[in-house]
Amino acid sequence: MKTLGFGAACDYCLTREPSNPLGDSPCMKRLHPLIETVSRRSCTILLQGESGTGKELLAHHIHAMSPRRLKPFVPVDCTALCDTLFESQLFGHAKGAFTGADKATPGFLRAADGGTLFLDEIGELNLPVQAKLLRCIQERTVVPVGSVESIPIDVRIITATHRDLRGMVGQGRFRQDLFFRLNVMSIVVPPLRERGSDILMLAEHFLEQFALMDGESAKRLSPEAIQLLLDYSWPGNVRELANAMEQAHILSKQGMVTCADLPQEIRSAHVMDKSETETQILPLATVECALIKQALRAAAGNQSRAADMLQIDRRRLYRKIRRYGLAELVQ
């Protein structure tokens, strides 16, 4: 059995579709016709929405429903690699292109030839890489780093971001011409807190996948746990739900997930949502520490993403992480 780390295991489950990946909540049902239409085409698609809303899961579904489904689906996290390494990973490089390049590599674009390339957090690309990506899309060719040869490619590109790309264009941080190329079809993925019954569908999906990984029977949700999941606001969206279900899968001993098996943040939020006559007022520091923990876990330890979720400056978040001794939750 393959062993995955906490974050990797959640990514594993996030990329495996539940039986109904689109969900049956009203806000998702409104998207069904559009998703079915674009799945049959090869146009570029821009998926927008808060961090962790399941944009990669939707991109997988679009690929699986498309004529390209028998070809590769290549997901790329644009935040994960430094600029120079990312350029060679995306476009490939020729032998001898730089120190250590002892052999040529095809890169993500050529690896996805005939299939779909999913660029997550496209807003993190720097301007030079944006320019080179634009040329690839326009000319349907790729020029590896250190080469002058144009290599034809046939790739459907799906991108995703939680940022306001149109606003970034106005600030000169994102190329307008690339934005128009990527924004042929735009789909806004609703946050999990607006998706009602989809929360339980996804929770059961994650429990099934974690059980499959460990060769066990899937755990069931108790009525009390279900109520907690439905009452919670899910600031970290689908990724936070996957994290919560992994913890529940690990801690549950009797085949039934109880309230005690869920993360403290979910249980605390339930207490805080009660009426003032029933609720004990918690110290501000306690609530603040819990929220920072919640954001860091939902952002998989990425401080910039966590700061965005909390809507505070990254340096201020760093000081609070030191104050509350939360360094172990940071990448």
Ordered structural domains, the chain, with CATH:
32-188 (3.40.50.300), 282-331 (1.10.10)
Tell me what pLDDT residue 294 has.
76
In contact, 33 and 185? CB cutoff 8 Å: no
Supply 155's token pair: 């790739």
Q: How far is CA 145 from CA 131, 152, 217, 238, in A?
A: 14, 15, 48, 36
Supply 52's token pair: 């962790």
Per-residue tens of pLDDT for the chain, all 331 residues: 333 333 444 554 555 554 556 788 899 999 999 999 999 999 999 999 998 898 998 999 999 999 999 999 999 998 876 566 788 888 887 876 676 667 878 889 999 999 999 999 999 998 988 999 999 999 999 988 888 888 999 999 999 999 999 999 999 999 999 999 999 999 999 999 999 888 998 999 899 999 999 899 899 999 999 999 998 999 999 989 999 999 999 999 888 999 999 998 898 876 555 544 444 555 777 778 878 887 787 777 888 888 888 888 888 888 888 888 888 778 7
- Per DSSP (E only), the strands in 140-216 are 141-142, 151-152, 156-161, 185-188
In Å, how far from its chain's centre is CA 139? 29
Tell me what pLDDT residue 4 has.
38
Residues in the chain: 331
Supply 131's token pair: 């320019």
C-alpha triplet 102, 103, 104: angle, nearest 5° = 140
- Per DSSP (E only), the strands in the chain are 45-48, 73-77, 116-120, 141-142, 151-152, 156-161, 185-188, 220-221, 256-257
In contact, 144 and 107? CB cutoff 8 Å: yes
Q: Which residues of 50-77 are buried (b: 16+ CB within 10 A; e: fewer)?
A: bbbbbbbbbbbbbbeebebeebebbbbe
